[in-house]
Structure 1
């Protein structure tokens, strides 16, 4: 996620890029640009009512459905006090967003520019939806549209680990005091090119001097019509630390270490959907139409289980 939504100014060093090559950028233009698809396509089908296993989930053995939801405004906590809700109107490093930035549409939750929803509370405590364990394979996808294709629009669908919070629960022995390590997984971000944009980012360091390593060439050159319902998904395999991105049922990109770090296996991830802007020169809204997630039935051999790992030590 880019720093427009983050209230920390974080100098970044350039990352090495010698690792997994890109998969096919886009298998076909219709699959990435609003045309129909055989599974989870951009044909208007609502994923939040479809319990069939997506190909991205099947590929990593994630067959257990754990999230299937059509977002509604009454499921968003605007008070800051509710403990167990589906969605919350802010992130741990932001102020709560105004209720005026949210509306209900017949087929989804509208986020006006500046709106954000997350599936954990702003104090980084779990909500109603389960976290996605990095010790298990998982697949998650969200269906969205935007009101325009203006290049200033910055719609984003992304995952953060709940351990990355103000309590510094992403500090792991024997790392130095206050040295954080976490994995950020950006399912899709708009405004970086004509097509979809997908990043895996390994973060580390002591605030504010964080270092990041991310996958190269994350932006598809195949145009994508974001005003149509599109389904953006990502799969994660802890055995190989491989992530693969999917757009409307088609695999478009893959990445692995060092952009996907070993610490991902110790962390537990939640969903964020945000309607941001690159330069605040366009007014638009983002419609969040649905989400579904699948997990593997058991941890893969050779991976670290968070239960068996040394507990994080925030200092």
Structure 2
């Protein structure tokens, strides 16, 4: 069994007081292009948590069924990590629950103080109230968020992880060797890596603690982004081509595919994480999580280009 230290901690934590180096859910103002290109876009003036119109990112991949539409509230957060049928949990499978003192209710969203995190699955890596996003189906998910400042030390993140990556090692697939894990991490947006957005698809594999990763290049935009505005960050996923596209305030800003989006993603089920970290713990800020919505489509049919020869083999462990 792997330890409770996540690979992101080793990869990005630069000071012992930075509790986690995790990814996070959307923000934005000017749109970022892959590696610095792309046109301008302005922060969304609408509240996505009450908007049922299908966004362009969902339409593009045929994800037309609305499955999540929510305005986050403090009362929706479980601070034990184990309660049934809750929308959000204040910790991850490799952490302790974060204290309720790191969270506040605002008129237009849930405030996460530095160090706060919410996830849509239990800390035991079992589903909560919201449905998981299956990698066998196209999906689109977006979140609206803002920060109290644009300090480059701020590390707000909005991201997706598969529930199979857990302490039960359910991301070990025969005939891979015992303990050899494979999973896709999708970082919808992370702050503090450049003046603009930072969007990554990471194919992880290996045995703890020697994980290897393949990450899409040119993930950081040079177009300045005002994170104090209520920006909308989204990502779409197409299982037929293993293509992901990042969206900011309704505009596509970046695209990636294999090898950064691995075939194993078709067998995994993803959940949302929103977290407020710091790169060097020299700033103090708040992150406001204002809304989330997600859409799914029909499962892709297997063909010569999309068939997964491992599809009939079950992962190790049970949930």
Q: By the TM > 0.5 criterion, same fold?
A: yes
CA distance in 2, matches of 1:9, 1:143: 25
Alignment deviations for residues 181-220 of structure 1 (CA, whole Å, 9 cap, x no partner): 0000000000000000000000000000000000001001
CA distance in 2, matches of 1:56, 1:8: 27
Alignment deviations for residues 129-173 of structure 1 (CA, whole Å, 9 cap, x no partner): 000000000000000000000000000000000000000000000
Matched with 1:86 is 87
Q: 2:39 aligns with which of 28, 38, 41?
A: 28
Is 1:6 aligned to residue 6 of structure 2? yes
Matched with 1:17 is none
2:59 aligns to what SS in structure 1?
Answer: helix
2:211 aligns to what SS in structure 1?
Answer: strand
TM-score, scaled relative to structure 2? 0.87
CA distance in 1, matches of 2:311, 2:73: 37
Give 1:90 shift: 0.2
> Contact (CA 8 Å) 2:203, 2:261: kept in 1 or not?
yes
Matched with 2:27 is none
Is 1:57 aligned to residue 58 of structure 2? yes
User: How does 1:72-151 map onto structure 2 within 5 Å?
Assistant: 72-151=73-152
User: How does 1:168-183 map onto structure 2 within 5 Å?
Assistant: 168-183=169-184
Matched with 1:271 is 272
TM-score, scaled relative to structure 1? 0.88
Cα 1:128–1:286 change in 2 (3 A) is: same
Matched with 1:313 is 316
Cα 1:184–1:306 change in 2 (3 A) is: farther
CA distance in 2, matches of 1:304, 1:94: 36
Alignment deviations for residues 67-109 of structure 1 (CA, whole Å, 9 cap, x no partner): 0000000000013341110000000011110100000000000
State the Cα RMSD in Å: 2.1
> Contact (CA 8 Å) 1:137, 1:300: kept in 2 or not?
no
CA distance in 2, matches of 1:116, 1:306: 37
User: How does 1:94-243 map onto structure 2 within 5 Å?
Assistant: 94-243=95-244
Is 1:66 aligned to residue 77 of structure 2? no
Cα 1:62–1:11 change in 2 (3 A) is: closer
Alignment deviations for residues 259-293 of structure 1 (CA, whole Å, 9 cap, x no partner): 00000000000000000100000000000000000
2:283 aligns to what SS in structure 1?
Answer: coil
Cα 1:223–1:11 change in 2 (3 A) is: closer
> Contact (CA 8 Å) 2:44, 2:232: kept in 1 or not?
no
CA distance in 2, matches of 1:137, 1:222: 29
1:209 aligns to what SS in structure 2?
Answer: coil
> Contact (CA 8 Å) 1:7, 1:94: kept in 2 or not?
no
